[in-house]
Chain A
Amino acid sequence: MRKLARLVGAVLLLGACLQMSGCWDMVEVSRASLMTGLALEPGHNGRILVTLEVLNSAETMSFEGGKGGSPSQLYSNEADTIVEAMIRMNEHLDRMLIPSHIRVIIVDERIAREGLDRFMDFVQRSRYVREDVTLLVSRGTKASDMLRVAYPDGMYAGFGIQSQVFNYHNNWGGVPDSFMYEVAQSAFSPGKELLLGAVTLDKKSDKEESVENSKKLDPQTLVRIAGSAAFRENRLIGFLSKEDTRMVLLVTNQLKRTTVSFPLDGQGKYAAIRLIRCHTSKKVQMIEGRPLISINVEAAGLVASMDDNLAIDKIHGYEQLDRLASEHLKESLTATIGKVQKQYKVDVFGFGEHLYRHRYHEFMPVSKEWNEQFAKAKVVVQVSVRIERSELKSRNQTQNKVVN
């Protein structure tokens, strides 16, 4: 009896294969190439110009047989939707394109101002584009120029830009990690507006970009991180500086490690503190129709450098340094929040989301015009920096006189 079922499985499986022969999803890897970067710019009469960075895997660093050619080539195409533009790349590209390894998507400032919705749907719907793709806004230059930057020893632009943003975010925090995932999060969660990283290009000379001059001592063109871009309802409304972005990350608990330098006593003497862990606890409540936001920042750090010879081998030295650091941080934080409130009137800090999560019934009536509420909110900031150690030396070596 069991032979019957086994026979059924085998015969029909074979029958099916013969009936529709061919492997439908087969993509021969050696005849295909990877898409590693995507740049979006406005094209003629309302269409989108899509520039793709296509990887030439033989040249990448992982293959020593490369002949020194550029690891990636740029191809661009114009169409009404992004998908069509990407698929029609084969008009002038011989290989099959694999879309699943895109590392960075750069949106031109002009498109971002009109709104991201136009292209976000494809990116979220497709199973090929991963959630951890870096989404950036180009500031002041065309988006496709970003992908033209050459990197030494076989590194392609897509990978280079992503690791640049990643390292800058982890070490100093001047740019949000701006994953694709955050676009979906902010679009859905009420009371938090989108904040994406912004990049720009500083070109020393307008010579045509090539791999050779990327090997020179001071490379001509470099991708520079230009802070972050604030959005309202998925429309770009302005850019924040790197310092302001760091403060926004501090408030939203995304700041990993950073270095704060603050004046000691006004005569141009500065101290630098390396903050290892920072945590912010927020409390948002509506007091007679006006949101009261109280922020409590705690940070642990260590002394990185100190121009003045503070007595940090004594307890009062540490307390003085703590106090100075806390005050400086508090000023810059309140300044940033005030600036965002006045200049952009958009809640990139996520206070609205916090109110929505914790006081649902207070938030719902104001949910429609939360940004205006945020603009006139009263903010109370309280910072306590705790400096734990001063690494190898306790006092400032250079200024120690034997007899003072």
Chain B
Amino acid sequence: MESKLTGLQLYAMMLVFLLGTSIIYGTPRLVPDSWLIDIAAIVPYLLLTGIYLALFWTGCDRNLYELLVAAWGKHFGKLFALGYSVYFLYIASRNLRDMVELILTALLRNTPSFVIVLAFVGIVAYAACGGIIALGRLSILIAGMVLFFFVVLTCLLYFSDSIDLERVLPFLSEGLGAVAGASLRSSIWFPYGEVLVFLAFGSSLGGAKTLRKIGLFSLLSATAILSFSNLLQTSVLGIENMKYSVFALLDAARLINIENFITRMDALVAFIIIFGVIVKSAIFLYASAKGAEFLFGSDWRGFAPSLALLIGALSIKVSRNNAEHVSEGLVYAIYWLHIPFQLAIPLATLLLLRLRLNHKEA
């Protein structure tokens, strides 16, 4: 009864998914040329998505949780599936926390975060309950809006002549090695590794061949947009200024000033980021609801609203202040969550499945 996602819907969904929260903070600025980080790390991304595609191809249209049970047997499989559900919930709560921070800084100051989280969670639950097809159509609209937003932002910045490409220099001041290191250390997991979530949709992805073609294409365009956004921020704010600004894109958008009338564009940035985070959180919620359905039996629509509220509760408790939030994400989350769940387990599952496949054929 789950109908297939069309190509365009899948492309838009992956694009918005990849851009969702990484627009807010931009790639972590460990190296002066932060806009190179995304481009430098294209090869590792392709390897990572290659694993997922191979997993999907061998699993022939079964979703992630079924593959886990098929590879690891009933008990271990269920354990890993539980782990993945919690992992998706954790990432969703981190995304939600990113957005709440932006709202509390850019738009509202005294509103308690409870209200913001609650309103947002209601919307995400409603979006996720619509099923994957409605989410696909929604992300087409939002992908269009995000692209339009970047075009408008660049034109406005250009006309208020605050773009100065001189600020991008000195080019590769710390050499290519530093950039590659930074991209491996942080950027490969944060926006790109999470494409794993699409495996959880299984049959509604429309076949492995289309997934490979479209997945690759959306990955490349997401990298292009992200590095363009970083380049824009660097050319407007300058490398050093960007290092200490919490929301770099927001600071860049604040510099728009045309004839003292078209100014103060913070709302435009907040508008786009909220939509991006809605889609991303809805996808994560849908994936973990599917996991819960797989593990506990009852229909996933029953889980979606309560898991959404759970994400809300987690996002309030995930970190006490901004510094902890960022450091937790950059250092601890990578070693304790991203590497095992995005690299180790999928690779092991792939190998096990291949072994079982050869064993059965032999």
Contacts and interface: CB of A to CB of B under 8 A. Distances in A.
Interface of A: 1-2, 4-6, 8-10, 12-13, 16-17, 20, 24-25, 127, 130-132, 181, 184-185, 188-189, 356-358, 360
Contact of A20 (B115, B121, B305): B115
Nearest to B174: A360
Given A5-B305, A130-B264, A25 B110 contact: yes
A357 B264 CA distance: 30
B324 interface: no
A80 to B, nearest CB: 22
The majority secondary structure among interface residues of chain B is helix
A57 B302 CA distance: 55
Interface in B103-142: 105-106, 108-112, 114-115, 118-119, 121-123, 125-126, 128-130
Contact of B114 (A16, A131, A189, A360): A16
A316 B86 CA distance: 83
Contacts of B309: 8, 12
Contacts, number: 80
Nearest to B255: A131
B52 to A, nearest CB: 29
B166 interface: yes
B240 interface: yes
A78 to B, nearest CB: 26
Contact of B119 (A16, A184, A188): A16
15 contacts: A4-B129, A5-B305, A6-B126, A8-B122, A9-B125, A10-B122, A16-B118, A16-B119, A127-B105, A127-B106, A132-B263, A185-B241, A189-B240, A357-B166, A358-B169
A159 to B, nearest CB: 11
A130 B170 contact: no
The majority secondary structure among interface residues of chain A is helix
Residue among B105, B118, B130 having the largest count of chain A Cβ atoms under 10 Å:
B118
A238 B302 CA distance: 71
A24 B170 CA distance: 46
Interface in B157-183: 166, 169-170, 173
Contact of B118 (A2, A6, A12, A360): A12
Contacts of B254: 130-131
B264 A1 contact: no
A360 B170 contact: yes
A342 B164 CA distance: 31
Contact of B170 (A13, A16, A17, A356): A356
Given A4-B305, A6-B126, 4 more contacts: A2-B301, A5-B126, A5-B128, A9-B123
B266 interface: yes
Nearest to A358: B169
Nearest to B107: A25
A8 B305 contact: yes
Contact of A25 (B108, B128, B166, B302): B108
In the complex, the 4 A-B pairs of residues with the closest C-beta atoms, listed nearest first = A9-B122, A188-B240, A360-B170, A5-B129
A358 B173 CA distance: 10
Contacts of A181: 255
B238 interface: yes
